[in-house]
């Protein structure tokens, strides 16, 4: 098992962001983390990445508690830009190469070339969508066991989205798992094999995507709209 969360609860100054999350994820799966705004998706990813500490409960990543060992196994893509905008992409790649043992520069350069991104340009000169692509390429160029992708394709055009999904499919090892939070369900649902619906900080559904389709005769996108109708 790659990830196990037990009775995970997180509060922000009394506000209950996640309550009693119990979650098990095996290796080799791509899981969609879906839920309306404020349902706790980012909070859950940050807890697993070790950027937040839970109020109670525990998380283990391949048997390790959250800490240096677990962080070596996790490649986390936050939902905001965090890289120094004054750096060239090539400089950032060198930095990643120094910093992460499992980072493969060659793969990063390969993906940059396929998406026509010039590595000698500074990050600040790129559009929002291209910056997103660079961030995702860096996250996927690590040989991690667990990828946590928070809204990886929101600002990317539909054509590039397809390439990025292909990239995700071809760049994870068979034993690794990917947890993707997104609102673009119809774009990604075909590459998922499991889905988690979060609602008000609780797991509403955690199931195999094809089983949900078979039961409901609906796409995950339609099902989501039905479950979370305002």
CB of 179 to another protein, least distance (A): 13
**Residue carrying the six token digits 């969609």:** 32
CB of 164 to another protein, least distance (A): 11
Residue 104 or 221: which CB sits closer to another protein? 221
Residue 4 or 221: which CB sits closer to another protein? 221
153-169 as b/e: b if 16+ CB within 10 A: beebeeebbeebbebbe
Gap between the Cα atoms of 20 and 150, Å rounded: 21
Gap between the Cα atoms of 172 and 211, Å rounded: 24
**Residues facing 5 on adjacent strands:** 23, 59
Which ranges of 154-208 would DSSP assign to H, the alpha helix? 158-171, 185-188
CB of 28 to another protein, least distance (A): 7
Gap between the Cα atoms of 132 and 154, Å rounded: 8
Residue 102 or 193: which CB sits closer to another protein? 193
Residue 94 or 218: which CB sits closer to another protein? 218
Could you list the residues that contact another protein (CB under 8 A)? 28-30, 162, 165-166, 169-170, 174, 186, 189-193, 209-211, 213-214, 217-222
CB of 151 to another protein, least distance (A): 20
Gap between the Cα atoms of 111 and 133, Å rounded: 9
Cβ neighbours of 26 (radius 10 Å): 12
CB of 88 to another protein, least distance (A): 31
Gap between the Cα atoms of 30 and 28, Å rounded: 7
């Amino acid at each position: 098992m790659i990830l196990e969360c037990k009775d995970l609860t997180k509060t922000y100054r009394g506000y209950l962001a996640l309550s009693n999350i119990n979650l098990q994820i095996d290796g080799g799966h791509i899981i969609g983390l879906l839920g309306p705004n404020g349902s706790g998706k980012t909070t859950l990813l940050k807890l697993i990445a070790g950027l937040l500490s839970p109020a109670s409960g525990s998380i283990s990543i391949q048997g390790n508690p959250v800490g240096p060992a677990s962080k070596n196994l996790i490649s986390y893509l936050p939902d905001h830009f965090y890289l120094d905008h004054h750096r060239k992409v090539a400089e950032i790649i060198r930095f990643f190469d120094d910093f992460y043992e499992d980072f493969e520069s060659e793969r990063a350069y390969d993906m940059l070339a396929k998406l026509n991104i010039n590595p000698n340009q500074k990050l600040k000169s790129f559009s929002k969508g291209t910056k997103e692509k660079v961030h995702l390429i860096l996250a996927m160029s690590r040989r991690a066991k667990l990828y946590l992708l928070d809204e990886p394709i929101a600002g990317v055009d539909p054509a590039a989205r397809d390439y990025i999904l292909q990239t995700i499919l071809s760049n994870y090892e068979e034993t690794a798992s990917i947890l993707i939070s997104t609102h673009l369900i119809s774009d990604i649902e075909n590459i998922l094999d499991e889905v988690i619906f979060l609602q008000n900080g609780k797991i509403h559904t955690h199931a195999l995507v094809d089983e949900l389709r078979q039961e409901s005769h609906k796409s995950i996108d339609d099902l989501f709209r039905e479950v979370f109708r305002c």
